[in-house]
Amino acid sequence: MQRPELREHVLPNGLRVLLHPARSAPVVSLQLCYHVGSARELPGKTGFAHLFEHLLFQGSEHVASDGHFRLITQAGGTLNGNTSFDRTHYFETLPSNQLELALWLESDRMGFLLGGLDQRKLDNQRDVVRNEKRQNYELRPYAKAHEVLAAALFPPEHPYAHLPIGTHEDLISATLDDVRAFFERWYRPDNATLVLGGDFEPDHALERVAAWFGELAPGGNFTRPAPQPHRALVEQRRTVEDKVQLPQVTLAWPTPELGHADETALTLLSMVLSATRASVLDRALTIDELLAKSISCGAWHGELAGRFQITATAASGVELARLEARIRELLANLASGGVSAAMLERMHNRAEAEFIQRLDNVSSRASALALSDVLRGAPLGFWSEYESLREQTPARLDAVLRRYLIEQPPTVVSVVPAGASAA
């Protein structure tokens, strides 16, 4: 597989413009990633970056309030946005003749948002976001644990100690002045990366991007935040009640930030533990012993810090304490016995196949370039990670297992059936 073709430019106002020409389909995908997420929210303003993302779909000075969705859908395109700890990402993919429409819409909300803003839009999207929180974090079984885990895993002052969705209380208190201030501070060309992928002529596309975005004023005071890795010193334990039948336990450890030398080894370790039913934890807990109904494992890396996490739902009649003890024992056994070369080879092969799949269309490639540029400071950083897969040896995986999961105490969050937490 070949590296995506890429041209990098910076407009005089600081907007980074990446062009990824690809003729595989007559489409153009525009990705605009702003370097602000929930990690940059101020105390008492949680959920604000995400609420703000919603307001960016409510029109701007020259675009009607329903314009984004209506015009892009009508032009045969798809669009959306999302907010994480570190960044807010907007994107649309359209037939290639609609490049100007995408540029008009994105440049208008970068430069002229406030002209279209009013209290009614804020109140409406606040209600929508509070319903999003109810649907995804309150009604969904076990999802209440996410908030508790974030707060327990990182110290209170750490930017990752609260989730992007925020609290109802803070969402209720958000004002139009907050929105204006947030916009003025963060939504600037020199705090964003724009990627165009697809079927276009690069010189012409660059000229058009410059025409639409070149006149927007820079903020001028942006620096990359320094990593804030955290190391746990004592075990933290929390219990959450939920309307569930089977209890669930999550063990989590803070890990280093995106781009750290241990990133790829941690990702592969999570696969060795739980990528398929034959992985170490799945095999032991759902095939050999039947202690768990389900198990999952993930290595996540943000620009400030990372998180390694194992979540297991108990099988019927299995005590959570027993399940947790067995997971810790399996980790200890793996650390002493070591990851086998055959197992790692299988995960290498699997990771490579998944990487090729993930990049099988223009918008996925453009998205990967945008996120990598903003979070790693290098658009092809994700590609380097792929190329480093084969450099990871069993000894490297053993080392990160010991360093982060064995020699560091876990944060343990239990979700128990309502009324059972006293037990």
Among 184, 203, 329, 345, contact with other proteins (rule: CB under 8 A): 345
Grouping H, G, I as helix, E, B as strand and the rest as coil, residue 215 is coil
Strand partners of residue 93:
29, 78
**Which amino acid makes up residue 177?**
D
Which span (147-155, 177-185, 349-357, 378-386) binds other proteins, by CB under 8 A?
A: 349-357
Among 10, 42, 139, 217, contact with other proteins (rule: CB under 8 A): 139
319 lines the binding site for other proteins (CB under 8 A) = no
Among 327, 362, 368, 369, contact with other proteins (rule: CB under 8 A): 362
Which residues in 386-415 contact other proteins (CB under 8 A)?
Answer: none
To the nearest whole angstrom, how small is the minimum distance from the Cβ of residue 38 to other proteins? Answer: 18
Q: At what angle do helices 67-74 and 99-111 cross, to 10 degrees?
A: 170
Tokens of 330: 């399996």
360 secondary structure, DSSP code: S
Query: Is 181 or 290 the residue whose CB approaches other proteins more closely?
Result: 290
To the nearest whole angstrom, how small is the minimum distance from the Cβ of residue 146 to other proteins? Answer: 16
> How many residues are present in the chain?
423
Query: Is 275 or 405 the residue whose CB approaches other proteins more closely?
Result: 275
Among 10, 42, 172, 278, contact with other proteins (rule: CB under 8 A): 278
101 lines the binding site for other proteins (CB under 8 A) = yes
Among 130, 188, 307, 376, contact with other proteins (rule: CB under 8 A): 130
Among 7, 231, 260, 283, contact with other proteins (rule: CB under 8 A): 283
93 lines the binding site for other proteins (CB under 8 A) = yes
Residue 17 burial by Cβ neighbours in a 10 Å radius (0-12, 13-18, 19+): buried
Query: Is 28 or 374 the residue whose CB approaches other proteins more closely?
Result: 28
Total of residues contacting other proteins (CB under 8 A): 83
> Any idea of the CA torsion for 146, 149, 150, 151, to the nearest 10 degrees?
120
- E strand or H helix at 251, and its extent? strand 248-255
Torsions phi, psi for 311 (to 5 deg): -125, 130
Task: State how far the Cα of 175 lies from the Cα of 354, in Å rounded to an integer.
Answer: 43
To the nearest whole angstrom, how small is the minimum distance from the Cβ of residue 71 to other proteins? Answer: 6
Which residues in 217-276 contact other proteins (CB under 8 A)?
Answer: 243-246, 275-276
Residue 157 burial by Cβ neighbours in a 10 Å radius (0-12, 13-18, 19+): exposed
